[in-house]
């Protein structure tokens, strides 16, 4: 039985950022007027030049508020409906099993991943204590199921592959995560917004958002730029960044960020580090910017390239289908597709139903016939305080077999002892128990197969007549 911790990792605008209790990224009409005026409120959103992977100091250091549950919008760029439906729709019980990672989404995703590591270690330890108090003897060692929206998936991937997160992770579900980046990020960083966006919004968004390292790491890593060449070119091709007015350092950092994840993933696989289930969910069927055309001084954002350009496609209006699928899965066929916009993906009923099934996953192989078998000799009678021997004559030591003594109802565990090699090609251990009727459970932790039986343990006096 699994009792994994479920961790929600939101994306951009997923956490409110506060100064003296005031939400400084509140884009309500009333608050927007304050942001547009030059002054402290506007400067607090901006990050210092050259911050890289560090934390801000001074007036740009903001306090984390709650995960945002109501709609938020960056005009012409990003929107989402909040996370209220996700929180209530999952139905996770008990409440301690659900954790929300709040973070400053302006900062580098490396920085956020470091904080995620500390957060997971603390919350997983607290959840383990909770399981112990609930006395779930049949529960597997709890791990983490990540539900990541948008950029949150990149934070988690860096934690998994670069910071040792594989050890604690069972499943990663990404909702509209731009695994290969998004051409919309070019709009963020250059001020080239959707036609019709008021000039005053364009100016302050470009000024503020251009200081966020996280947005640079959302730039497309795939071939996204069409020039006079017949084939799309990547952002790090000679002269492309200059033509788009993108800082070279920002483009280089984006490629370096993804290369760190990919190189570490390969090393982790080669070292046979624990794996995890990767379940991407994406939106499709909507016009979505895939790339940019640069011809002379004219720059156009494209939803597809023509026949000579190579690819056409759709997406969720923000993330193209080619980016919603992780590169290691190699094909969009492995992604679960839903006909919803990026803004609503985490709130739609079919998506919530899929996420509930992911959180409540059952390991199918436990219900299938298996070639991994081992015989066990279990006693059905023992004397209190005296050792009772459990043996597995021909069992493979790599099966990691242990013997557990449980109460009749299975909720209380008295002992959990590994079976060790007996020098004769088998495994054995000894258990001692007080008088009572107990359940003896001998199981392979690695394969989940085993044997269970009842054992009667009597006191020494009660057994005396039987031994005469």
- Report the range of poorest mean pLDDT among 59-68, 104-113, 448-457: 448-457
Measured CA angle at 107 (ends 225, 167), to 5 deg: 95
As a whole number of angstroms, the distance between CA 221 and CA 234 comes to 7
Q: What is the pLDDT of residue 137?
A: 54
pTM of the entire predicted model: 0.77
Q: Where in the chain is the domain with CATH 3.40.50.1820?
A: 5-359
| Residue with tokens 């343990």, as numbered in its chain | 457
Q: What is the pLDDT of residue 214?
A: 96
5-359, CATH topology level: Rossmann fold (3.40.50)
- Model confidence band, residue 428 (pLDDT cutoffs 50, 70, 90): very high
Q: Where in the chain is the domain with CATH 2.60.40.10?
A: 381-467
- Report the range of poorest mean pLDDT among 156-165, 260-269, 327-336, 434-443: 434-443
Token pair in block for residue 452: 């269970």
Token pair in block for residue 333: 């066929």
Scanning 275-345, the segments in alpha helix (DSSP H) are 321-324
pLDDT tens digits, residue range 446-468?
776 778 788 888 887 644 443 33
Which CATH homologous superfamily contains domain 381-467?
A: Immunoglobulins (2.60.40.10)
E strand residue ranges, 310-371:
336-338
């Amino acid at each position: 039985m699994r009792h994994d911790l479920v961790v929600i990792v939101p994306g951009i605008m997923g956490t409110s950022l506060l100064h003296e209790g005031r939400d400084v990224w509140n884009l309500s009409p009333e608050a927007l007027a304050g942001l547009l005026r030059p002054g402290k409120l506007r400067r607090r959103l901006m990050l210092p030049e050259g911050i890289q992977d560090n934390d801000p100091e001074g007036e740009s250091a903001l306090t984390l508020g709650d995960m945002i549950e109501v709609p938020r919008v960056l005009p012409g760029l990003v929107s989402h409906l909040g996370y209220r439906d996700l929180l209530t729709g999952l139905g996770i019980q008990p409440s301690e099993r659900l954790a929300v990672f709040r973070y400053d989404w302006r900062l580098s995703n490396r920085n956020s991943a470091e904080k995620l590591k500390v957060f997971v270690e603390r919350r997983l330890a607290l959840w383990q204590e909770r399981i112990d108090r609930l006395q779930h003897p049949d529960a597997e060692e709890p791990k983490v199921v990540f539900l990541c929206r948008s950029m949150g998936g990149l934070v988690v991937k860096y934690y998994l592959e670069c910071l040792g997160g594989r050890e604690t992770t069972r499943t990663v579900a990404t909702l509209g995560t731009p695994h290969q980046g998004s051409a919309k990020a070019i709009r963020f960083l250059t001020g080239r917004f959707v036609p019709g966006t008021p000039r005053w919004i364009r100016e302050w968004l470009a000024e503020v958002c251009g200081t966020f390292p996280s947005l640079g790491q959302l730039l497309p890593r795939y071939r996204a730029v069409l020039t006079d060449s017949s084939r799309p070119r990547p952002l790090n091709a000679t002269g492309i960044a200059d033509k788009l007015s993108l800082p070279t350092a920002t483009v280089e950092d984006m490629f370096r960020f993804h290369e760190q994840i990919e190189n570490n993933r390969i090393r982790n696989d080669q070292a046979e580090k624990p794996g995890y289930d990767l379940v991407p969910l994406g939106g499709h069927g909507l016009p979505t910017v895939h790339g940019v055309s640069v011809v002379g001084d004219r720059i156009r954002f494209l939803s597809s390239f023509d026949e000579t350009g190579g690819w056409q496609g759709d997406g969720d209006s923000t993330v193209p289908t080619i980016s919603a699928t992780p590169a290691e899965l190699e094909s969009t066929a492995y992604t679960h597709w839903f006909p919803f916009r990026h803004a609503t993906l985490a709130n739609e009923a079919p998506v919530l139903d899929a996420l509930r099934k992911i959180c409540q996953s059952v390991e199918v192989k436990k219900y299938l016939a298996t070639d991994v078998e081992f015989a066990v000799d279990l006693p059905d009678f023992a004397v209190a305080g005296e050792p009772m021997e459990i043996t597995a004559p021909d069992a493979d030591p790599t099966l990691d077999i242990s013997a557990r003594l449980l109460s009749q109802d299975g909720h209380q565990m008295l002992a959990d002892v590994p079976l060790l090699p007996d020098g004769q090609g088998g495994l054995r251990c000894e258990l001692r128990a007080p008088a009572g009727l107990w359940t003896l459970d001998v199981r392979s932790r690695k394969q989940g197969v085993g044997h269970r039986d009842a054992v009667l343990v009597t006191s020494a006096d009660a057994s005396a007549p039987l031994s005469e």
